[in-house]
């Protein structure tokens, strides 16, 4: 699918960034900037597709990274946590 290792690495970075955006949107009441759906994504949304490509461990890592960043910026995500624990 990819001609070079560099192209594969770029695709991995893009997928991870989109997946982290999924987490940001999951913690936000705002609509998705790509598919314009609140709290859910349509079947063709690149953000949802990227998220589905991650393993459960990678999804946990993405959630942890975004929440740590939010806490370091002084954001409190306790008001909106739609993730079932």
3-state helix, strand, coil in the chain (%, to 5): 60, 0, 40
Answer yes or no: is 81 within a domain. Answer: no
pLDDT top residue among 41 and 81: 41
Answer yes or no: is 83 within a domain. Answer: no
pLDDT tens figures, 2-32: 688 888 888 888 888 888 888 887 777 788 8
Q: How many domains does the chain have?
A: 1
Answer yes or no: is 84 within a domain. Answer: no
Answer yes or no: is 47 within a domain. Answer: yes
Answer yes or no: is 79 within a domain. Answer: no
pLDDT tens figures, 24-59: 877 777 888 888 877 677 778 888 888 888 899 988
Answer yes or no: is 85 within a domain. Answer: no
Q: Cα dihedral angle (18, 19, 25, 31), rounded to 10 degrees?
A: 50
pLDDT of residue 57: 92
- Give the range of the structural domain holding residue 30, as residue numbers without chain letter: 5-74
């Amino acid at each position: 699918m990819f001609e070079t290792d560099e192209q594969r690495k770029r695709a991995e970075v893009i997928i991870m960034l989109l997946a982290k955006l999924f987490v940001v949107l999951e913690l936000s009441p705002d609509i998705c900037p790509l598919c314009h759906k609140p709290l859910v994504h349509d079947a063709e949304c690149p953000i949802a597709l990227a998220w589905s490509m991650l393993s459960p461990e990678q999804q946990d890592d993405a959630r942890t990274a975004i929440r740590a960043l939010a806490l370091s910026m002084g954001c409190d995500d306790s008001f909106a946590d739609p993730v079932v624990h």
